[in-house]
Structure 1
Amino acid sequence: MTTRGRLVSKKNVEVQRENSTLYCENLNVTFDERDFNIQSLKATEKIHIIDKRDNLFSEAIGDRVTWDAKNKVTILRGQPFALLREGNRRQILVPRVLFYEDGKTVLCEGKGSLYERGEEKFPNLSTEETDLKVNWTKKMLYYDTLRKVSFFGESEATRGGQKLQGDQIDAYLDNDKNIHKIIATGNVHFFSKRLENSEGFGSLFTWDLAQDNALLTGNPKAELRKEGSQTFSEKVFFNMAENRVTWEGRPHWQIMSNETKRSNE
């Protein structure tokens, strides 16, 4: 149905635009009456977007979509979550997603989570042990040019028996669009069940997922807690692939518990 400056469509609606296709049940489009350019687009019910830009995702699902021509942004909302999906490899759940028309930036607002299926690179680990999950409380921002995903607000990344927390977590994608490196900053805490429940505290943590090892530094020192002892040093290395923890840099010192002292006697 078309009225002056407005178009309304219902049932099995398909809209194609550049590198994406929108499917929905209800569509409302407003035009500029002078030049008939689209001013806004609103779609509801059974929202399904197919994206062909080789981005962080290839599908988006939600309850409502609006396109703002003036600000050049498309907003997807879901109740309780909108879903971004890249086949069975990756999915993102978040209440609100902003797709900017430059095609280089995606902003996920609100508390959300990212799940990425692990690769079969490590013969001694199952796929579940290499799966990656990231939770955040404020927002997630994807930069396509940098192949970088940033998570803000009490962020936490888990992989197998490892857990990483920080004020901000940045994840970097390789040429195959898999997350291969994570950097956490701020108040950093790392826990590894595989490394005998070792814990690390510092301000910068770099995790190489492909090699399965990590480096922790602090300001001024990083702290390692293991088997009842505390070690303070410039650098702490967590090598999950070889099941060992080492430290480097002077001065460093250790605080040993009584239980640790007795076990060493």
Structure 2
Amino acid sequence: MAEGRLFVTGTGPGKTDYTAPAALEAIKNADFICGYTPYVDAVNEYISPDAEVFTNGMTGETERVEKAVEAAQAGRNVALVCGGDASLYSLASLVYEKTANTDIIEVIPGITAALSASARLGAPVADDLAIISMSDLLTPWEVIKKRIDAVNAGDFVCAVYNPRSRKRTEQIEHALRVFASRGNLACGYVRNSHRYGETMWAGRLSELNTEDLDMSTVLIIGCKKTIIKNGKLVTPRGYTDKYGE
């Protein structure tokens, strides 16, 4: 039996307006759809009524991938639906780990939350960028702490994913104390980017209320040269210094 195709699709930050056309096309043409329930619900209008759909909840990542791989190996045209970008903190790497014939896989990128939040906040991501998740479910906290120190030493703009949960509150406080050693940096956050209930804020580290942060929030910490202009975060690239006005 000939194997099918497995499209690992990143649907972007929220509304399908920000989903790559290639991802929507893969979803439209799939006869087997697999994904986390809210992500599949978000693209429901693009799913063929004849397609088989498998969804599950949080912590069901391995099961989703195994179902998708099994269906593709059985000759089906599969779309594994991921939020944001399919590679960053997502399932593309697990798909490759679980698939013997990797030629059947195509990863379709999506707009990740860091870039979505940057666009909403202004232009803080204009130079080198570091992305760190505060979640220690899959990465030990001691490793995350070393990465925080490295970002701080390099004066990177930093996008922080999963900054705070109801049970996990100390990690972001530690990170902010480290970042504050560079000064009262410009920063901002976006919660529920491009989705219902979207909220955003920009200001200085000293003004940030960490209780406003949750798992649906991306926090962006600027570097030393990041400024606040008319309520927007801007990291100058240096064009005017190099080329003149």
TM-score by length of 2: 0.29
- Asked which structure has the greater CA Rg, the reply is 1
Query: In proportion to residue count, which structure has more strand?
Result: 1
Q: Normalising by structure 1, report the TM-score.
A: 0.28
